[in-house]
Amino acid sequence: MSTLVDYDDAVARYDTVIGIEVHVELGTVTKMFDGAPAGFGEEPNTSVTPVSLGLPGSLPVVNGKAVEYAIRIGLALNCSIAETCRFARKNYFYPDVPKNFQTSQYDEPIAYEGWVDVELDDGSIFRVEIERAHMEEDAGKNTHIGGSDGRIHGAEYSLVDYNRAGIPLVEIVTKPITGAGARAPEVARAYVQTLRDLFRALEVSEARMERGNVRADVNVSIRPTPQSPLGTRTETKNVNSFRSVERAVRYEVSRQAGVLDDGIAIVQETRHWHEDTGTTAAGRVKSDAEDYRYFPEPDLVPIAPDRAWVEEIRASLPELPAARRRRLQGEWGYADAEMRDVVNAGAVELIETTIAAGASPAAARKWWMGELARTAKQQEVELAELPVTPTQIGQLQKLVDDGRINDKLARQVLEGVLAGEGDPETVLVARGLEVVSDDAPLLEAIDAALAAQPDIAEKIRSGNLGPVGAIIGAVMKATRGQADAGRVRELLLERIQG
Amino acid sequence: MSTLSRDEVARVAGLARIDLTPAELDRLAGELDVIVESVARVSEIATPDVPATSHPLPLTNVFRPDVLVEPVDRALVLASAPEHVDGKFAVPQILGEDA
């Protein structure tokens, strides 16, 4: 086996071309071709009808909502919507498809020839050309039982749950993505992320990666120069997180460079992604077995989306994520780099809701990109997963704005909120963190501090204000940080001058 | 007009998981050839101004609303399974491909 080539070395000598297929499960109530529930997490084989099970005599009928969602996706990806299109049977034998074929679209997809602009980490825009977006149905779920390592070889038997069989999918296929060079892994990741954001904005799917609502197959090939003909590609299946998409492309580039350096030809094959090791492993070699013998589905009539309907859907498209980001950045007055950090941290919605809860844009950003970002990083979770809501951050900031706590106390209150002690107000009361606004205890602490440091007191009295910080510090310490330092200074000066 | 070879029949049979004896292959290669040639004759008649037909009915856009129907009771679903475990269909081990 060839050795991996260091990534930087590989991209210095080879040009990378990628192609990505993304499957998204549509958030319809029912399945693509029958009225069975299209939900998630039900007991096995309880969301099925004769159609989902492919029972003889059962006939499919297209879910109109799924067609509408597919058109929404197509339009948002700047695709043309087919005047007429049809379904086809993709024939293969595997127990997750009870009919022995998957109903898909083959030569006539509902949407074709589009593009989407993808924003990279440095803010630059990379345009990805879309080949097609077509409708199909999901397969059931197999679980392999037995065998030494629980993986499929050596499995004694497999268990099949058909709840997922028939859930509507849209598959989006890019044209070969060239010109990304060394940034191909980043482009791949940003593209999948862009689609995920788009699906959510369009409200066509919950688009939760961890539930497999969005799944990516990543094609990678390399060639000596951008002018060379395309190299042989491999297809890494079911790469299901943004990070994995990036890692899978990177790994394949390093691996293929090693193979080519050894003078060996790349085998066109399906590869499997191993999350734990960050590597891909050879799967099936593309061969005759992949002759799916597509033919038009005789049980379904063609779909010819009425132009007026298409225009109605186009007019109803919501503001898309990129435009929304630009608008929010203007409203919030963030610099480009600040906005980019916010977007990359997945904090746009969090900050938007925090601002809606009353915080200023600057304060909202300070909390989410400062204290909370640090906490999330420490705990290795996403910002949105922290046990604090944007509304609570809004409440916390209001306590600061009202002068009831200072920044330092606010951080302690936040600590309490994160520890599950309740809303900011509750934590503040329970922990007794309110700023001391009554002058009497402050004066008491000032007198004590002056008495404890007579030499400093003397200097101040003689008009040298240099060391007032020492006294203020002592007062802050004595009040456990709950004093307003500005007020302490005022009182101290009055005390000395009076 | 090329004829359907015996090898092609064997390949298609393999894809369809149909086990054919050599004698059956010989016979079917001849019979299928007649069908393929007949269809080829039709495509000679069909000129570019005749649109391809994938469906005999002049219908498009037959949709159903996104409304739930009652799923089949699981006991009934599994009644047709030769074997089932934990509410799932149990099938012989699958080789070659991860799900």
Mean pLDDT of the residues in chain A: 91
pLDDT exceeds cutoff 70 at A345: yes
How does pLDDT run across B75-94, given as a tens digit for each residue?
999 998 889 999 999 988 76
User: Exposed/middle/buried for A380, CB within 10 Å: 0-12, 13-18, 19+?
Assistant: exposed
Closest residue, chain A, to B58 (C-alpha): A301
Strand runs labelled E in A146-248: 157-161, 168-174, 214-223, 234-239
pLDDT of residue B5: 86
Q: How many domains does chain B have?
A: 1
DSSP A163-185: SSTT-EEEEEEEPPB-S-GGGHH
CATH code of the domain covering residue B41: 1.10.20
Q: Which of B62, B69, B77 sits opposite A45 (nearest CB)?
A: B77
- Per CB-CB distance under 8 Å, the chain B contacts of A139 are 99
Q: Do A35 and B88 touch (CB under 8 A)?
A: no
Cβ atoms A105, A136 nearer than 8 A:
yes
pLDDT exceeds cutoff 80 at A331: yes
**What is the pLDDT averaged over residues A69-80?**
98
Is B61 touching A (CB cutoff 8 A)? yes
- Per CB-CB distance under 8 Å, the chain B contacts of A283 are 97-98
How does pLDDT run across A409-460, given as a tens digit for each residue?
899 999 999 999 999 999 888 887 777 667 778 888 888 888 888 888 888 8
Q: Would residue B11 count as lying in a domain?
A: yes
pLDDT of residue B99: 38
How does pLDDT run across A113-159, given as a tens digit for each residue?
999 999 998 889 999 999 999 999 999 998 887 755 555 555 578 89
pLDDT of residue A285: 65
Residue with tokens 């997922």: A164
Q: Do B91 and A303 touch (CB under 8 A)?
A: no
What are the beta bridge partners of residue A158?
A144, B91
Q: Do A37 and B60 touch (CB under 8 A)?
A: no
Cβ atoms A85, A108 nearer than 8 A:
yes
- Chains A, B: CB contacts within 8 A come to 158
How does pLDDT run across A151-191, given as a tens digit for each residue?
555 557 889 999 999 999 999 999 999 999 999 999 999 99
pLDDT exceeds cutoff 50 at A96: yes
User: Exposed/middle/buried for B99, CB within 10 Å: 0-12, 13-18, 19+?
Assistant: middle
| Domain ranges in chain A with CATH number 1.10.10 | 439-497
Q: Do B64 and A289 touch (CB under 8 A)?
A: no
What are the beta bridge partners of residue A19?
A219
A195 versus A404: the higher-pLDDT residue is A195
A420 versus A344: the higher-pLDDT residue is A420
Q: Considering only CA atoms, which of A28, A31, A85 is closest in space to residue A60?
A: A31
Q: Do A153 and B95 touch (CB under 8 A)?
A: yes
3-state SS assignment for residue A157: strand
Q: A26 to chain B, minimum CA–CA distance in Å?
A: 12
Q: Do B67 and A35 touch (CB under 8 A)?
A: yes
Indicate if ipTM > 0.90. no
Buried b (16+ CB within 10 A) or exposed e, A100-111: ebbbbbbebbbb
Is B45 touching A (CB cutoff 8 A)? no
3-state SS assignment for residue A436: strand
Q: A387 to chain B, minimum CA–CA distance in Å?
A: 35
Cβ atoms A304, A83 nearer than 8 A:
yes
Range of the domain at B39: 6-45
* Answer CATH for A439-497 from 1.10.3470, 3.30.70, 1.10.730, 1.10.10: 1.10.10
pLDDT exceeds cutoff 50 at B97: no
**What is the pLDDT averaged over residues B24-53?**
85
pLDDT exceeds cutoff 50 at A269: yes
Closest residue, chain A, to B18 (C-alpha): A93
pLDDT of residue A314: 97
Closest residue, chain B, to A31 (C-alpha): B66
Q: Do B11 and A302 touch (CB under 8 A)?
A: no
Residue with tokens 């086990």: B19
Mean pLDDT of the residues in chain B: 85
C-alpha A142/C-alpha A98 separation (Å) is 12
**Helix residue ranges, H only, A267-406:** 307-315, 321-332, 336-344, 348-356, 361-366, 372-379, 390-401
**pTM here?**
0.80
